[in-house]
Structure 1
Amino acid sequence: MNRMTEEGRKQLEELIAQVMKDGQARGIAVGIVDSDGQIQYENYFGYRDEENQLPITRDTIFGMASVTKSFTALAIMQMQKDGLLSVDDPVSKYVPEFTNKNLKEPVKLWHLMCHSGGFFPLPRIVINKTAQEMGIEDSLEDELIYREDFAEEGVRRVAERLDEQTRFTGRPGQRLSYCNDGFGLLSDIVRRHSGYGSFAEYLDKKILKPLGMDRSNISFIRNTLDDNAATLYSFENGEWRADRDYQNDAFVLHGGGGMKSTMGDMLKYAVMYLNEGTAENGNQIVDRYSIQEMGKPRQFMKPGIYYGYGLETKQLEDRAVYEHGGSLPGVSSNFSFCPQEEVGIVVLCNTMDVSVAAIADAALRAYCGLDVQEVRQNHNIRSWSRQEVEELAGRYVSGEGDTFELTEENGTLSMKVNGNPTDLQAVYPWQGMVRKKYSDIYLTAIRDEEGHVYAAHYGSRIFPKEMN
């Protein structure tokens, strides 16, 4: 088995320092574990609390954000194995509040598991606003994550809003557009139909405790009060904010981003995937078939990257890599594993919008004895056709609050993202690319049967085009 060389470690830690500088990251944890549970690399940079110079440890709690989606998909696969549901069933069978009324075909569980229900991005329904409107609050004695009335109100709001959509990205299962609402419904299916009474209880009894992940949970207030929980650093309204508000921008249903965990616990989680469902302690969490189904590429995300069930899949040369990242106020996270190299990688950060995926990729490359700097794809220079310019020009608005505009200038397209000029390069017919320092973002036209552009895939979302 490969081991990281001193030169590889040096290159990796130089890149980590650069990523921290670029993202103003306050603290980062990086770990590599093999399939036997042996730590191959573990290091901590910066602080869990910069103001008080408190160090990060293996037991420091970080937000996981969308890494949670792999836990939710794993729970659904467990329930399928136990005969409680089938991923081919319609969502409405388990969530009667969701009537599927404006779609001609049923949305199935597996569609939600790979973000292909057909829904455009929607404004986030958040925990604190919902609780406030219900006149309740979180407390250690009566946590929101266990309250049935809060869950029922959350699923009603999410399901009804999805039902109200009349424009869609396509048919159910046709194409990917990242959808937290869908994973919220999946976690409520776990709550209602597993026999455990809450998504939190199911995770604890069926996944976390069997894996020995004793510092992990989807609580909010418990982590806010934990002495070894990371302070969250967020850039909002032009200034940095530091707090331990784990409810900030948190979705009302917890399956899309509610998990909090530690380096020590997440390395155990990685070992389970490397052993196709069996934990380091010998407990079988799920069968091999279910793990393999989670990793299958089912939806195109961007060139070289596809989405399965709560996991993305890509290639590192001839190696398959499965991963998921996460981002919330004060949270940047990435979890990945490579079966061929028999290693898992965890990168956790207490600062928002930090390029932790670049660190994860560099860590795997260093472990494999490769140069940590990825060779980026270069494209032949091409021009937009007249038809592309005419069809793509317009304003695209996401319900999550982001917008971009494509305008014609001298026969080509110029781009602004949230009002900021952005260099968009034509790379293929109906597809452009924005080159960032650590990754590339692709823009792909979505066209109807007559060839007219009605939306565009940008990053992981499909943005509807504003109609005249």
Structure 2
Amino acid sequence: MEKQWITPHRPQHSSRWSYPFNIFIIALIALTTAWYSLNLTPLPLFTTRASICHTPLPPIHAYGPLGDDHPALLRAGKQLERAIQSRWKKGTIDSINLAVVTAHGSVWEISQGPLRPNETDPLERGAVDRDSMYRIASVSKLFTMVETLVLQQKGVLKLDDPVTRFFPNFTYVPYECPTSTCVPTEPITLRQLASHTSGLARDLPAGSATNWPHERSGGGPPPINDLPFPDRDTVLQSIAATPLVAAPYTAPIYSNTAWSLLGACNVQANKLFGEDTSPSTHWELLERDVLVPLGLNGTSFLAAEELKPRIAVGSAYPGEVELDFLDFSNPAGGQFSSLHDLAKLLTSILDPSTPGAVLTPYTLREWVRPMHAFGDDNNEVGLVWEIMKFQDSYGTRQRIYQKYGNLESSHAAIAINAEAGFGVALLTTSPQSQTAPIIEDAIKAFQPAFDRLRQERAMTMFGGAWELPPSRTRNASEARISFKQGSLWLDRLILNGTDALQLLGGRKGASGRLWWTGSDQFRIAVDLPGYEGCLGQWATLDEYGRKQGWAINSLVFKGPASHRSLHFPAAALALRRKL
């Protein structure tokens, strides 16, 4: 039933008060208008809430694996189970494979539904499990990105290399150029291809919108645009004849063409500059550098006969599993994968020390960060990443690094909260994609659990009261560390009888937070008046002098949780936990 908006009854005011009141309002408006006109300064119509700095913490996996029997994780799993079953009852999902993953593996998984929903024979229908293989569409780009980064680590290419390093005859039509005779002056680089900032059109060659505006046709990738999957030379010729949608490094323009070209650059770079030049296709390169080292056994590009018993088929368009994207388009969307493989890839991204991991900590620090922020203050773009901000238990908006992939019946998604230390892998078959709301279900269920675990671990390793009793040669020292608003706070710091927080902050009552810099080392970040958020702390984090080779705001924790010590190396002081 449509909601009716009814104006509520307003009681009549006494005429005794209405006339003077109206005169007062008119006079107030006139005075305000006159003041505004004379001062030429806008009235403060809007106010912003002061932001709180969320200082960095060590990764949650740094101090050992999480027990999947933790009460917070068990509650989160039950909540997500209810959400999934609620969606399942609507009958709009054929099958689902979903895992919540940490650096030490899955903490929650579900596999549900038939492999082949259009079959009536139960034996033919089968059932999905974590080894079932799904078309992952654009999540293929995630694997292509990993391959690019591996080749960069090997020195075969650099993200800022121009495409012309690998294809010297590569050319394009500059933005706003009326003809293909314009000569491009700005390079298109691999970094631009990987971040959708090259300006290349989405799907080249483009389909024909013959009957527009009477009919929408010709859009999308092959075969939706009524064209076959193209080979490399066909696409390079189309790029050379098609003006850019935008100049390089302007607003991101989603481009499957760019990702196909990135995959071709990977193959060509390895042929020209690699030590082992035998791989001649994207598939062979990926197998050598990513799939075999990580132990991934559910990844392919063709529905080979021996794989068909494992392949999940959608009811709406079962024929899409038979598509051959060809080698040029495979890097953008031609891949199959399994929950087993996606979970292992996620684990290696969350912790580069995972056995078989192919990316170094340096590479991950370069990769897992935004490149472009949209004007909605919620969505950003990175190197393959489609980033969304999600509020944690403390009101801090954390970045969720995502990649979605959708065909007609097959849908996939990867989501990582690198700061909180968990990720989500999702594979489904359904007539309509429900990946985004299911990923949101998973984050809503598990984000509070990981917030709780981070707080517990942070307090176990760093929190509480610390002391060093006085001696004949020194005064007492003490520190008190708490956990508030998602950060470690230094509530009190007395070093050799002196209020060190007052000295660092330049005022009595100054507060500080611990800013993690790596391993078990932190800097004391002091709040500065006049600055909102992290800006003041960031700008002054290293402005202090040094003594004995250490910044005076440095502190270091040593030893296991049971025998922990807190060191202030510039002051040559070591504190123990207060019993």
- TM-score interval (norm. to shorter): 0.5 to 0.7
What do the CA deviations read for 1:42-74 (whole angstroms, capped 9, x no partner)?
112222222344211111001111111111111
Q: 1:255 aligns with which of 331, 351, 355?
A: 331
1:156 aligns with 2:224: no
Query: Does 67-76 or 6-15 show the bigger shift?
Result: 6-15
Q: For residues 127-148 of structure 1, give each alpha carbon's deviation from its aligned partner in whole angstroms, at most 9, with x where no partner exists.
A: 8999989xxxxxxxxxxxxxxx
Matched, 1:15 2:83: yes
1:182-205 Cα deviation digits (max 9, x unpaired): 000111112222222211011111
Give the structure with higher Rg (CA): 2
Which stretch has the larger CA shift, 350-359 or 59-68? 350-359
Alignment check: 8 A CA contact 1:223 1:229 kept = no
- Distance in 2 of aligned mates of 1:250 and 1:365: 38
Partners of 1:125 and 1:252 lie apart in 2 by: 13
Alignment partners' CA distance in 1, 2:256 and 2:164:
17
Map 1:417-456 → 2, pairs under 5 A:
none
* % identity of equivalent residues: 21
Give CA deviations for 1:277-335 in whole Å, capped at 9, x if unaligned.
34x3x224021222222222112355412111112233222333211110113211111
Q: Map 1:403-422 onto structure 2 (within 5 A).
A: none
How many angstroms does 1:230 deviate by? 0.5
Matched ranges for 1:180-195 at <5 A: 180-194=256-270, 195=277
Q: State yes or no: 1:296 paired with 2:373.
A: no
- Partner residue, 1:233: 315
- Work out whether residues 97 and 156 of structure 1, in 8 Å CA contact, stay in contact via their aligned partners in 2: no
**C-alpha contact (below 8 Å) 1:58/1:262 kept by paired residues:** yes
Which residue of the partner structure matches residue 329 of structure 1? 408
CA distance in 2, matches of 1:326, 1:356: 9
In structure 2, the residue corresponding to 1:175 is in which secondary structure? Answer: coil
Offset at 1:16?
Answer: 2.4
Equivalent residue number for residue 208 of structure 1: 291
* Cα RMSD for the two superposed structures: 3.0
* Structure 2 gaps, min length 5: 1-65, 175-183, 207-219, 271-276, 450-579
Structure 2 distance, partners of 1:157, 1:127, is 15
Spell out, residue by residue over 1:10-56, the C-alpha distance to the aligned partner (whole angstroms, 9 max, x if none): 4423432454566822011111122112x211112222222344211
Match of 2:102 in 1: 34
Q: CA deviation at 1:98?
A: 2.5
Aligned mate of 2:193, from 112, 118, 121: 112
TM-score (norm. length: structure 1): 0.66
Letter in 2 for 1:162: I
Instruction: For 1:353 and 1:332, locate their aligned partners in 2 and report how far apart those are by CA, in whole Å.
Output: 9
User: Which residue in the other structure is 2:425 paired with?
Assistant: 346
Q: How many residues align?
A: 340
Alpha-carbon deviations, 1:75-124, whole Å to 9, x = none? 11111121111111211221345213434411111111001111333336
Q: Larger strand proportion, structure 1 or 2?
A: 1
Partner of 1:86: 158
Q: Distance in 2 between matches of 1:223 and 1:360?
A: 32
User: 1:67, 1:106 → 2: CA distance?
Assistant: 27
Q: 1:353 to 1:291 in 2, by over 3 A?
A: farther
Find 1:313's aligned residue among 367, 387, 400.
387
Asked if structure 1 preserves the Cα contact closer than 8 Å seen for 2:188 and 2:198, the reply is: yes
Separation in 2 of the partners of 1:341 and 1:211? Answer: 23
Q: What is the TM-score with the length of structure 2 in the denominator?
A: 0.54
How far apart are 1:272 and its partner, in Å?
A: 0.5
Which of 348, 356, 360 aligns to 2:439? It is 360
